[in-house]
């Protein structure tokens, strides 16, 4: 049942489908409460079959090595970062969507422990930004717990404004730097 053993390309396709499936579930699943978490298994099965065909010729026939997800950066298996508004740590609709998808991937890899890093843009003071970054990381952690990820798989840290993803003193760079980033601990 695990995705272990597929090559990265297959994994990507699979993830695409998971996302697709997720959004379908979301579209149809209004009104039901905890249902979406158990449904994907049913939906994924046939679609994977269909898509795998064009990929097959490039896949070597020999048995593939097991992929150790605990050694990979989360972005390599489809975990996406979450972005925040200026001086805010609440999750907008886009962030909620990302976290829903992330939670599904994390459930498929129960062996993985994730470090959630809070980041801020350069404006403001070093210490308050470290505290704000922690609030962002904790907002993300708390939502993942609500989505069913066990607390002990989620660690939280804050780098404040100290490890920017984009360099520059403009809104484009700032927006890139206000995020919760998922890392291998």
Partner 1 sequence: MPTLPRFLCLVVCLLFVAIRPLPGVAQGVPDVTLGVTKTAFAKIDILVGTLDVLSGGLAAVEAAAALERTLTRDLEYSGLFRVSSGEQPAPEGDLNFEFAIRGSVEGPLRDAQQTGRDAPTTVSLDLVTHPGGQLILNKQYRPLPDQLRTTAHHFANQVVEMLTGEPGIALTRIVFSRGSADRRDLWVVDYDGESLLRLTANRTLNLCPAWSPDGSEIAFTSYQNGLQGLFSLKTATGEVRRIIAQEGLNLGADWHHTGRELAVSLSRSGDPDIYRVSPQGEILHRVTAMPSIEISPSWDPSGRDIVFTSDRTGTPQLYVIDSEGAGPRRLTFEGRYNDSASWSPTGDNIVYATRETDITQLVLIRPTGEERRLLTDWRWRNCEDPSWAPDGRHIVFASDRTGAFKLYVMDVVDGDVRQLTFGDEPDITPAWSHN
Question: Footprint of partner 1 on this chain (CB under 8 A)?
Answer: 115, 117, 123-128, 130-132, 134-135, 138, 155-159, 162-164, 183, 185
Q: How many residues would you count in the chain? A: 185
**CB of residue 165 vs partner 1: minimum separation in angstroms?**
10
**CB of residue 156 vs partner 1: minimum separation in angstroms?**
7
**CB of residue 146 vs partner 1: minimum separation in angstroms?**
16
Residue 115 DSSP symbol: E
How many angstroms separate the CA atoms of 144 and 149, rounded?
A: 6
Nearer to partner 1, 130 or 175 (CB): 130
Nearer to partner 1, 14 or 182 (CB): 182
Which CA distances in Å does 150 have to 50, 55, 73, 85?
Answer: 33, 34, 19, 27
**CB of residue 113 vs partner 1: minimum separation in angstroms?**
11
The two three-digit tokens of residue 48, written as one number:
């994977």
Nearer to partner 1, 101 or 138 (CB): 138
CA torsion sign, 144 to 145 to 149 to 155? positive
How many angstroms separate the CA atoms of 99 and 110, rounded?
A: 16
């Amino acid at each position: 049942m695990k995705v272990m053993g597929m090559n990265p390309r297959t994994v990507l396709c699979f993830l695409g489908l998971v996302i697709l499936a997720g959004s379908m579930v979301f579209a149809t699943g209004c009104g039901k409460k905890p249902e979406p978490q158990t449904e994907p298994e049913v939906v994924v099965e046939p679609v994977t079959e269909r898509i795998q065909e064009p990929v097959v010729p490039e896949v070597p026939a020999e048995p593939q090595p097991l992929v150790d997800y605990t050694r990979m950066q989360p972005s390599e298996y489809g975990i996406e970062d979450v972005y925040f508004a200026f001086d805010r740590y609440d999750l907008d609709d886009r962030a909620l969507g990302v976290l829903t998808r992330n939670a599904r991937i994390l459930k498929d890899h129960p062996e993985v422990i994730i470090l959630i890093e809070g980041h801020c843009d350069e404006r403001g003071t070093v210490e308050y930004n470290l505290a704000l970054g922690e609030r962002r990381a904790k907002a993300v952690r708390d939502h993942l717990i609500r989505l069913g990820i066990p607390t002990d798989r989620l660690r939280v840290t804050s780098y404040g404004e100290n490890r920017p993803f984009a360099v520059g003193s403009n809104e484009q760079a700032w927006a890139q730097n206000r995020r919760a980033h998922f890392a291998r601990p």
